[in-house]
Amino acid sequence: DAKTTQPNSMESNEEEPVHLPCNHSTISGTDYIHWYRQLPSQGPEYVIHGLTSNVNNRMASLAIAEDRKSSTLILHRATLRDAAVYYCILRDVGEWNDMRFGAGTRLTVKP
């Protein structure tokens, strides 16, 4: 069963920032926080991942709480192409692909 909790859906306006939350209260010290997104009719796409410090890449930023029990994926300027299901997943560095996907958050972007 999934070890993360995400809202079922969120809405955003185009060109505005989006903050997608994820709770993972049972996270262990060796769990990396991964985010993937899935566009319609496509396989999931890697977005970002991190362990303790906040991370930035060309797609998004990942803000990790100090106690690591929650994190937030930040899309700085949402576009219509960002409409997708976003998955927050914990992956233990010591285990081979123990990535259990939950239901994710369906993001709708309004023009």
Partner 1 sequence: KAGVTQTPRYLIKTRGQQVTLSCSPISGHRSVSWYQQTPGQGLQFLFEYFSETQRNKGNFPGRFSGRQFSNSRSEMNVSTLELGDSALYLCASSLATTGGYTFGSGTRLTVV
Q: Is 43 in the site for partner 1 (CB under 8 A)?
A: yes
Residues 71, 38: Cα–Cα separation, whole Å:
19
Q: Give the interface segment with partner 1, choosing from 8-16, 18-26, 32-40, 73-81 (CB under 8 A).
A: 32-40
Q: Which is nearer to partner 1, 10 or 49 (CB)?
A: 49
**Residue 34 sits in the site that holds partner 1 (CB under 8 A):** yes
Q: Rule CB under 8 A: say whether 98 interacts with partner 1.
A: yes
Distances (CA, A) of 42 to 39, 83, 84, 85, 97: 6, 13, 10, 11, 20
